[in-house]
């Protein structure tokens, strides 16, 4: 933990210094100006970390407002970092360019990408897909499953946001609603206050939830009472059968190894029935195929959330980091998520409610 902290703070320091050099050129800053720029960057960076921690222990409006402000600052800081790094690489080439003009282009571009990301996060889209699932009983033919993933209710996304999205989901008239983890953020101090809105989620065959890493981070002892009160079924390494569709919900696993498979309670012997797997992280594809899963629904990656971070999530999760993939009888859809973590910014990566029509 100590080494991780040292590495993290070192990377943060390098990033802050790189942006500092970039903005110093942009503002043609004198000594006082440089001090102001550096102090602002340090306060913004450390302020986000500090308020992120404080929201876990203090549930008051002042802390949440501070967290929101610093989260916005970090969103802009991210794009300033991208262009600051590019700026320094160009300077290293020794090319004789107008670096003041170049810095202005970079800052303006950062602001544009940041604003685009704000709107993209604030207005989620409805994504419609159709999937063929082997062994699907006639009771489920043409039925619609709505997937919600990575809502991150907490310091940024509260009751008002939830109420709006619940209304939109219910208007879709779903047969089943599945929540594939990270419904809550680590920053939610009063999860029970969101129960009335969660209880309004309506689907003919009910609402099913599997935990994500942030739900665990907040504490399942806080999450589960809320979901139970809202009549949302919780699946943790457990299977249920609804009218011939076997739904398998996994607890949050970093990686299921071949020699350490989870025991799934109530899993029926496979006789060709349709199987739907709910798993927060889009991993263990071979394991899911061996289990004869027809459709896996996952999230977690946010599709990188802010371009170009999708290249990093693709490194960890490959092509399964976002979207629909069909490989024989196996299908997987990984959602980009309905909310966001940290900055409420999703540049070139809309938030989404997923509607899956199964046949």
Beta-ladder partners of 298 = 334
What integer pLDDT is reported at residue 1 of this predicted model? Answer: 46
Tens of pLDDT along the chain (359 residues) come to: 467 567 777 888 899 999 999 999 999 999 999 999 999 999 999 999 999 888 888 878 889 899 999 999 999 999 999 999 999 999 999 888 999 999 999 999 999 999 999 999 999 999 999 999 999 999 999 999 999 999 999 989 999 999 999 999 999 999 999 999 999 998 877 889 999 999 999 999 999 999 999 999 999 999 999 999 999 999 999 999 999 999 999 998 655 555 456 789 999 999 999 999 999 999 989 999 999 999 999 999 999 999 999 999 999 999 999 999 999 999 999 999 999 999 999 999 999 999 999 99
Q: What is the residue whose two structure tokens read 């953020």?
A: 185
In a shared domain, residues 161 and 289: yes
What is residue 351's three-state secondary structure?
Answer: coil
> Which two three-digit tokens encode residue 252?
């949050």
Please check whether residues 112 and 56 belong to one and the same domain.
yes
The tokens for 185 are 């953020």
Closest of 43, 122, 116 to residue 79, by C-alpha? 116
Q: Where are the alpha helices (DSSP H) in the chain?
A: 2-26, 31-54, 61-92, 99-122, 159-171, 195-198, 213-218, 220-229, 285-290, 310-317
CATH of the domain at 268: 3.60.21.10
At residue 194, φ and ψ (nearest 5 deg) are: -90, -5
The two tokens of residue 154 are: 């907490």
Residue 261 has what pLDDT?
64
Whether 276 and 174 map to the same domain: the answer is: yes
Pair (100, 142) in one structural domain: no
| Residue 331 sits in the same domain as residue 191 | yes
Q: Domain boundary at 122, 149, 173, which?
A: 122
CA-closest candidate to residue 346, choices 140, 114, 57: 114
Is the same domain home to 84 and 170?
Answer: no
Residue 61 shares a structural domain with residue 138: no
Whether residues 75 and 134 share a domain: the answer is no
For residues 98 and 171, state if they share a domain: no
222 and 266 housed in the same domain? yes
**Final residue of a structural domain among 80, 99, 122:** 122
User: With b meaning 16 or more CB within 10 Å and e meaning fewer, what string describes 272-310?
Assistant: ebbbbbbbbbbbbbebbeebbbbbbbbbbbbbbbbbebb
Contact 154, 187 (CB under 8 A): yes
Give the pLDDT of residue 40. Answer: 96
Q: What's the number of domains the chain is made of?
A: 2
Which of these three, 122, 139, 172, is where a domain ends?
A: 122
Angstrom distance (rounded) from CA 12 to CA 10: 5
pLDDT at 2: 61
| pLDDT value, residue 17 | 95
Range of the domain at 284: 125-358
**Are residues 201 and 129 both part of a single domain?**
yes
Query: Is the domain of 229 the same as that of 102?
Result: no
């Amino acid at each position: 933990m100590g080494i991780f902290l040292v590495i993290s703070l070192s990377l943060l320091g390098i990033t802050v210094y790189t942006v500092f050099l970039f903005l110093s050129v942009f503002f043609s800053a004198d000594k006082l100006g440089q001090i102001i720029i550096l102090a602002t960057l340090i306060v913004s960076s450390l302020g986000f970390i500090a308020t992120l921690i404080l929201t876990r222990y203090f549930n008051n409006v002042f802390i949440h407002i501070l967290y929101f402000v610093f989260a916005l600052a970090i969103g802009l800081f991210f794009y300033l970092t991208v262009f600051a790094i590019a700026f320094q690489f160009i300077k290293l080439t020794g090319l004789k360019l107008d670096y003041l003009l170049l810095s202005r282009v970079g800052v303006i571009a950062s602001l544009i990408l940041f604003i685009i990301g704000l709107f993209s996060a604030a207005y989620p889209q409805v994504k419609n897909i159709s999937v063929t699932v082997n062994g699907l009983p006639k009771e489920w033919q043409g039925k619609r499953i709505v997937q919600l993933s990575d809502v991150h209710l907490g310091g940024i996304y509260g009751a008002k946001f939830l109420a709006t999205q619940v209304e939109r989901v219910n208007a879709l008239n779903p047969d089943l609603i599945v929540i594939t983890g990270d419904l809550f953020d680590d920053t939610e101090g009063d999860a029970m206050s969101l129960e009335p809105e969660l209880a309004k989620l309506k689907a003919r065959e009910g609402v099913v939830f599997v935990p994500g890493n942030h739900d665990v981070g907040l504490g399942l002892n806080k999450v589960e009472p809320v979901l139970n009160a809202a009549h949302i079924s919780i699946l943790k390494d457990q299977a249920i059968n609804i009218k011939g569709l076997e739904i398998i919900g996994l607890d949050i696993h970093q990686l299921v190894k071949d020699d350490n498979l989870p025991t799934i309670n109530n899993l029926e012997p496979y006789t060709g029935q349709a199987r739907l797997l709910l798993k927060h992280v889009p991993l263990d594809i071979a394991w899911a195929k061996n289990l004869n899963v027809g459709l896996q629904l996952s999230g977690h990656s946010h599709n990188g959330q802010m371009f170009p971070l999708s290249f990093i999530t693709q490194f960890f999760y490959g092509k399964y980091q976002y979207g629909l993939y069909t490989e024989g009888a196996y299908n997987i859809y990984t959602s980009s998520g309905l909310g966001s973590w940290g900055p409420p910014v999703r540049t070139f990566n809309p938030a989404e409610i997923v509607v899956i029509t199964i046949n």
